[in-house]
Amino acid sequence: MIKELLTALGRRGARPVKVLTAWLAVSAALQAATFLALIPLLQDMAGGRSIVASLVLFVALAVAWLVCTVAVQMRGFTVGADLALVLHERIDHALERLPRAWFRRGRAGEVSQLVGGTALSAMNIPAHLLRPLVNAVVTPVLLVIGPLVLDPWVGLAMLVASPLLALVVWTTDRSVNRADADRRRTMTQTAERLLEFARAQPVLRAFGHADQSATRLGAVLSQQEKAERRLIAGTVPGVLSYDVVSRLLYVIGVAVAAVQLSQGHLDAPEFVAVVVIGMRIAEAVSTAAGLAAGMRMNRRDLAGLNELLAVEPQQWPDQPAVPAGNAVSLCGVGYSYDGDHQVLDGIDLDLPERGLTALVGPSGAGKSTLAHLLPRFLDPTSGTVGIGGVDVRRIGRDDLAGRVAVVPQQVYLTGGTLRDNITLGRPGASDEEIGRACGLARITDLVDGLEEGLDTPVGTRGDRFSGGEKQRIALARALITGAPIVVLDEVTSSLDAGNDRAVTETLQALARESSVLVIAHRLADVVRADQIVVLAGGRIVQRGRHEDLIGADGVYRDMWRAQTSSSGWQLRSAGASA
């Protein structure tokens, strides 16, 4: 457990824990020395000799032990609080640097467990677990010196159960590790299901599936309960066995001491010392049994955290190149997930420094994947994505972020105010610049209608705003950066007809100054694009202007006919004639 904790903390965070452990070892050694000091004190008392020297030694060691214990225990709470902060910082830093592909399978539950569970529970290690753990190891090792010195047979008797203790620990570890791994997987599934259940409440209730979803959630919770029971079933027998063997160690030692006392090899004070020391050894070893379950669970959780921290981060150049312009060029680009599913294959595409390019095609054609290559949310598995003649992998992180602004399909508003969200990419923006971005994104009326205006809190995940409002806020956030390349993924999907037309006109105006790449589902939104690129099966199957594509056989004309024919549908009452 300690090894996993030090690995998770890194060099800077591990140092306070190492220092604390060293002082805990000193405290444990002072405890053992205090008990060992009873031997000469008892011998002097029984022999009628002066006890001043032995009593002073005993009291001095006891006071030193008490002072050291109080100091290190207080330090343990401080280190625990700092430890949680360090782990959260390392998790945040790791998540920020992870390739976006790592998140594609849905890691919300896993990350939630690491941040809310593992990092917070780890702070209990220096605060509550470390001191008894060190005492359980250091104190018995040093205390056994006393019986060995008084009578080697007594000391050996106390050591004889050690191999059996090691066997119990090894056997228990194997069974508990399997059960705990199952428990961790179930906890991650439960966290994912809880998040899904909470977020999907409006949809579930609207379609009358809340009870069914609750049943599925109950099934997952039932699986977690079974996993917890299996863990307990694997842990309790081992803990009890360890406790029994440790008590047996004490009984054997006292029994041998009694025999040696009866044969005159030990006197009464020495026998009392053996009993007291043996009792403390048994207590310390038994305490280790109680700590075992918590240590194993912490070790497994920390191992999961270390797996996250060990994921290879996205690499950025140490000496970045500066593009000569902002024209985008994709050459032979391919992308596959985990080397299996080929999403893009052989994409060649040029985006001029100014102009509007639309990506269209059926669902699953690879449109969003292609768009995510420009800001390096993903890196191609083959080919190159270039800006201004430079591969995006050779451009500095801040430089690339300043050149490419993205409005994703799933808009996320961060905590804070509306102003905070709009100026996320440009915190120093003036009110005039914010106003211009709001005007272009068609949210001026929205802002003016709020009592606190731009200083209005957005609420949790921006839930106080509708989907269309959040899309326009995200558009303003992208526009205020002044980035020369703007990528918009289904930016008009949640807009009403009036705002749809207004935002489309804004994008056409923006295209006169920047290179705009729009992923569109409704073809009517992109009929005036400078070029339309049609994707199907991960390949470009058509490209050109609307007038050219509508007159040729192919995917685009089929999509256009399907959409224009459905636009005339009307709902009729049951009594109306066909």
DSSP state string for 131-145 = HHHHHHHHHHHHHTH
The angle subtended at Cα 427 by Cα 426 and Cα 433, nearest 5°, is 65
Q: Do domains 2-310 and 328-566 have the same CATH topology?
A: no
What CATH number labels 2-310?
Answer: 1.20.1560.10
pLDDT of 495: 64
| DSSP-H helix ranges across 311-381 | 367-373
Q: Establish how many alpha carbons lie within 13 A of residue 291's alpha carbon, considering only the half-sphere containing its beta carbon.
A: 21
Residue ranges of the domains in the chain?
A: 2-310, 328-566
Question: Structure tokens of 280?
Answer: 């403390």
Amino acid at 560: W
Encode 442-480: b = buried (16+ Cβ within 10 Å), e = exposed.
bbeebbeeeeeebebebeeebeebeebbbbbbbbbbbbb
Residue 79 contacts residue 20 (beta carbons within 8 Å): yes
| Adjacency order of strands within the sheet including 485-489 | 404-407, 485-489, 515-519, 355-360, 531-536, 539-544
Q: Residue 531: its pLDDT value, please?
A: 93
pLDDT tens for the chain, residues 1 to 578: 778 877 778 888 888 888 999 999 999 899 888 888 887 887 788 777 888 898 999 899 999 999 999 999 889 888 888 887 888 788 788 877 777 767 655 565 566 666 666 766 777 778 777 888 888 778 877 777 766 776 676 666 666 656 666 666 666 565 556 556 656 666 666 666 665 556 555 555 555 544 555 566 566 667 666 666 666 665 666 666 666 776 676 677 777 778 777 777 777 777 777 777 777 777 776 676 666 656 666 777 777 777 777 878 888 898 999 999 899 999 999 998 766 778 899 999 999 999 999 999 988 888 988 999 999 988 999 999 999 999 999 999 889 988 998 888 777 887 788 888 888 888 888 888 889 888 888 888 888 888 888 888 887 766 778 877 888 888 888 888 888 999 988 776 666 666 677 777 788 888 888 899 999 888 888 888 999 999 998 999 999 999 999 988 889 999 888 888 755 554 444 444 43
- The CATH code that applies to domain 328-566 is 3.40.50.300
- Specify the pLDDT at position 358: 92
Q: What pLDDT is recorded for position 259? A: 79
189: three-class secondary structure by DSSP: helix
- Sheet hosting strand 390-391, strand order edge to edge: 341-351, 328-337, 382-387, 390-391
- Gyration radius from the chain CA atoms: 35
Return all residues near 185 (Cβ < 8 A) that are at least 6 apart.
227
Short-list 572, 161, 556, CA closest to 361? 556
The pTM for the full model equals: 0.65
Tell me if 546 sits within 8 A of 526, measured CB to CB. yes
pLDDT at 17: 87
- pLDDT for the residue numbered 577: 41
The upper half-sphere exposure of residue 40, i.e. CA atoms within 13 Å in the direction of its Cβ, equals 14
CA pair distance 22, 327, nearest whole angstrom: 59
Would you say 157 and 256 are in contact if contact means Cβ atoms under 8 Å apart?
Answer: yes
